[in-house]
């Protein structure tokens, strides 16, 4: 096997910037001004060496100022999607033979370029999807981590796998790429998850058609620019903007699509899974799907918990990036012995949170992503008023942008809509449990299984959580958000998806297949 990382130091996670340092603060302010100044810039569909311009346009909007555009994009159609497929197929024939070390080098170069463009990338996320400064930079850090980590992982896999020796034969097993993949990333981690999904498939030797989320095409275009700047050969990565209902479905069902990598809502994910399961004329494989969906994540607070720490973890997990994380805590399940105390502390912490334009670093929460998201969250707030007691927030203002106060309901009953359905916004349901057993039972009573946390000082209860709390990412005595690459491999159970464990050491295997070769030794 080859020795990994010959020229690269051991992987470590990139640290988030300290914006109290004047130089960093000014860097961000200048970058925000620059991105605003480029609001009329037009971005093409990129297919190989061709920049495609369409008659019909799409725009990127600022959810903090809903009438402010940030960029102009092309509305792709089925003919363009077919052209993209043909180019990706053609390029795969050469790209699959490029040595793994060379493919990894493109990722290492992209990571360096991304770090050099750090303020610009952060500024785009602040403006395009409403991340605060820290959340935006954490997103950037994760994207860089994915590039660095997957490049190193590919170097490890490139040596093949050792096998049991068998007399008279020379046996080897090695990994080869799959083919053309369709990557459909989400809008909520528009730099990190997009970069991770794209880079992993590319470094494994596949060609990728990237169809970005309609709410975040600008950050996607910037990531594509970075790969171009890194010298990635034309045709390896296609940038295709357009409606998911037409070009997305067309490519999911295309007989030459070899795999689909999707992160997003359960409804869309199930639809992709169903469509990908059909074998169309001319298709000679079963498509591989990597489908990561939502969560209804719970923090279980035991009677033997540190209540101050638990309350802080709940609020940070529930309202970071407006609760728009698949890992966000939307349920706090609290033992009746500490229930009133936790509710009181959660209310006090929630009421201190600032909401407003995230261009101002004083604001902890920005807007929700879009008009439709605003409407959905406000509808759930009305449902919450019927199902429990509103104790914080509950109001929104969409006159300028899509702003919603962080909202807390107490006395929510297990099985109610607020306790069961993914809201994807700043709404927390607090549920009273009789004891720890009851808390775990309520936590597991959901179709999802993504993240969860337990706060307790009792070692036996902690051990039980390891075995009994059925989630892909479990956290003990800490918040349930903020997974780091190769520290917390990320992916969930049940209707949270296929448990891909992004940022883990098995992830690249999803984009490769093993070939076993046995050669008889002739003397």
Place of tokens 């997305």: 248
Q: Which residues pair with 305 in a beta bridge?
A: none
Q: Which residues pair with 182 in a beta bridge?
A: 209, 260
CA distances from 290 to 84, 88, 142, 145, 261 (A): 21, 19, 19, 20, 5
Distance CA(359)–CA(365), nearest Å, equals 11
Distance CA(115)–CA(335), nearest Å, equals 45
Cα dihedral 399, 406, 15, 8 sign: negative
Q: Which residues pair with 283 in a beta bridge?
A: none
Residue 516's H or E segment, with its range, is: strand 512-520
What is the three-class DSSP state of 165? Answer: coil
| Residue 292: active-site member | yes
Are 269 and 492 spatial neighbours (Cβ–Cβ below 8 Å)? no
DSSP letter, residue 160: -
Retrieve residue 183's tokens. Answer: 């990557």
Distance CA(155)–CA(270), nearest Å, equals 34
Q: Work out the burial of residue 286: count CB atoms within 10 Å of its CB; fewer than 13 is exposed, 13-18 middle, 19 or more buried.
A: exposed
442 CA to centre of own chain: 26
Q: Please name the residues in contact with 258: beta carbons below 8 A apart, sequence gap of 6 or more.
A: 178, 179, 180, 181, 206, 285, 287, 288
Q: Work out the burial of residue 447: count CB atoms within 10 Å of its CB; fewer than 13 is exposed, 13-18 middle, 19 or more buried.
A: middle
Retrieve residue 450's tokens. Answer: 């993504």
Are 133 and 28 spatial neighbours (Cβ–Cβ below 8 Å)? yes
Q: Which residues pair with 116 in a beta bridge?
A: none
Point out the catalytic residue in the list 141, 191, 326, 480: 326
Are 402 and 65 spatial neighbours (Cβ–Cβ below 8 Å)? no
- Both ends of the chain: CA-CA distance in Å? 25
Least Cα distance to 289 among 199, 215, 184 occurs for 184
Point out the catalytic residue in the list 292, 387, 419, 422: 292
What is the three-class DSSP state of 45? Answer: strand
| Residue 326: active-site member | yes
Active site residues: 292, 326
């Amino acid at each position: 096997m080859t020795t990994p990382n010959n020229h690269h130091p051991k992987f470590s996670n990139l640290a988030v910037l300290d914006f109290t340092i004047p130089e960093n603060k000014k860097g961000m302010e200048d970058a925000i001004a620059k991105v605003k100044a480029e609001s009329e810039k037009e971005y093409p569909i990129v297919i190989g060496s061709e920049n495609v311009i369409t008659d019909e346009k799409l725009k990127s909007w600022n959810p903090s100022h809903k009438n402010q555009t940030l960029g102009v994009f092309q509305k792709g159609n089925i003919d363009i999607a077919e052209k993209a497929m043909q180019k990706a197929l053609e390029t795969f024939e050469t790209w699959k033979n490029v040595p793994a070390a060379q493919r990894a080098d493109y990722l290492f170069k992209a990571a360096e370029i991304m770090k050099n463009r750090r303020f610009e990338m952060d500024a785009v996320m602040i403006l395009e999807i409403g991340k605060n400064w820290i959340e935006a930079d954490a997103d950037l850090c994760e994207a860089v981590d994915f590039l660095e980590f997957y490049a190193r992982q590919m170097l490890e896999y490139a040596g093949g796998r050792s096998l049991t020796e068998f007399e008279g034969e020379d046996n080897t097993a090695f990994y080869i790429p799959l083919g053309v993949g369709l990557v459909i990333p989400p809008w909520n981690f528009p730099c990190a998850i997009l970069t991770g999904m794209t880079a992993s498939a590319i470094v494994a030797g596949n060609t990728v058609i990237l169809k970005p989320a309609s709410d975040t095409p600008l950050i996607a275009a910037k990531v594509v620019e970075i790969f171009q700047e890194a010298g990635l050969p034309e045709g390896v990565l296609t940038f295709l903007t357009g409606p998911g209902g037409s070009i997305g479905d067309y490519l999911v069902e295309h007989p030459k699509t070899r795999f689909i990598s999707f992160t997003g809502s359960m409804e869309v994910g199930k639809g992709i899974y169903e469509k990908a399961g059909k074998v169309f004329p001319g298709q000679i494989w079963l498509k591989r799907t990597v489908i990561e969906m939502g969560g209804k994540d719970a923090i279980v607070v035991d009677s033997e918990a540190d209540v101050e720490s638990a309350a802080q973890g709940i609020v940070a997990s529930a309202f970071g990036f407006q609760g728009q994380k698949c890992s966000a805590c939307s349920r706090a399940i609290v033992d009746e012995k500490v229930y009133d105390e936790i509710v009181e502390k959660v209310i006090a912490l929630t009421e201190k949170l600032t909401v407003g334009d995230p261009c101002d670093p004083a604001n902890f929460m920005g807007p929700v992503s879009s008009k439709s998201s605003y409407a959905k969250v406000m509808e759930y707030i009305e449902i919450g008023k019927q199902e429990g007691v509103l104790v914080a927030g509950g109001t929104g203002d969409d006159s300028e942008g899509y702003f919603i106060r962080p909202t807390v309901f107490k006395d929510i009953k297990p099985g109610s809509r607020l306790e069961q359905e993914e809201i994807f916004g700043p709404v927390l349901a607090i549920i009273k449990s009789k004891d720890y057993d009851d808390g775990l039972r309520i936590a597991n009573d959901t179709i999802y299984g993504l993240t969860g946390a337990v706060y307790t000082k009792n070692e036996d209860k902690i051990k039980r959580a390891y075995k009994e709390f059925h989630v892909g990412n479990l956290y003990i005595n800490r918040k349930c958000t903020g997974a780091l690459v190769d520290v917390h491999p990320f992916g969930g159970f049940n209707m949270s998806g296929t448990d891909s464990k992004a940022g883990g050491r098995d992830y690249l295997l999803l984009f490769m297949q093993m070939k076993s070769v046995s050669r008889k030794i002739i003397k």
